[in-house]
Amino acid sequence: MKDIKLHDKTFEVYIPETEISAIIHSLATSINNSGIQNPLFIAVLNGSFLFAADLMRKITIPNAEISFIKLASYQGTESTGTVNELIGLNQDLKNRNIIILEDIIDTGNTLEKIIELFQNKGLATFKTATLLYKPKAYKKDIPIDFIGKSISNDFVVGYGLDYEEIGRNLPHIYKLKN
């Protein structure tokens, strides 16, 4: 498969679409067999839009729901530093079994912020599913419940993941070519 160029960088195929689909099939099977009831999946935009769409088609748990959020970070006052906010969360989360859907977990900073923002909302259970995980970059102790594939520390694009906002439409996942 051909290399591609995005902005100033060249990328080579790393996880072809056939493998992505096998990974998603196996993730869906794990979630379906986990015993979680009436789940509310919450996909973190923008990166997880294709993953969420493909995974949901393989979920067979009755009464499964899906919603989408975006994590916005902005500079607060000097004393508060960076402020994080969840955009798009309208549902009542009380007593819900939440499964977060992430495209990739790298350092874990984003996941940690999401967890903070979900605290005190009276959830029944909270689980995380990610398509890709970079174990060598992960700096947190938070357990990740469902992992599609653990990858090296390379920068990847495609299938929802971007390099400075482009490349999300690529059907395969590519990595930076050295």
Residues annotated as part of the active site: 106
Q: Which is nearer to ligand IMP, 33 or 109 (CB)?
A: 109
Smallest gap from Cβ 27 to Mg ion, in A, equals 21
Q: Which among 51, 43, 146 is positioned nearest to 100, based on CA atoms?
A: 43
Select the binding partner of residue 156 from ligand IMP, Mg ion, none (C-beta < 5 to 8 A, by kind): ligand IMP
Output the smallest distance, CB 34 to Mg ion, in A. Answer: 28
The reply to whether 47 sits near ligand IMP by the rule CB under 6 A is yes
User: Which of 40, 104 has the CB closer to ligand IMP?
Assistant: 104
Cβ count within 10 A of residue 1: 9
**Which sign, positive or negative, has the C-alpha torsion 131, 11, 164, 159?**
negative
CA dist., res. 107 & res. 127, Å (int): 18
Specify whether the CB–CB gap between 97 and 36 falls below 8 A. yes
Point out which residues bind ligand IMP (CB under 6 A).
47, 103-110, 155-157, 161
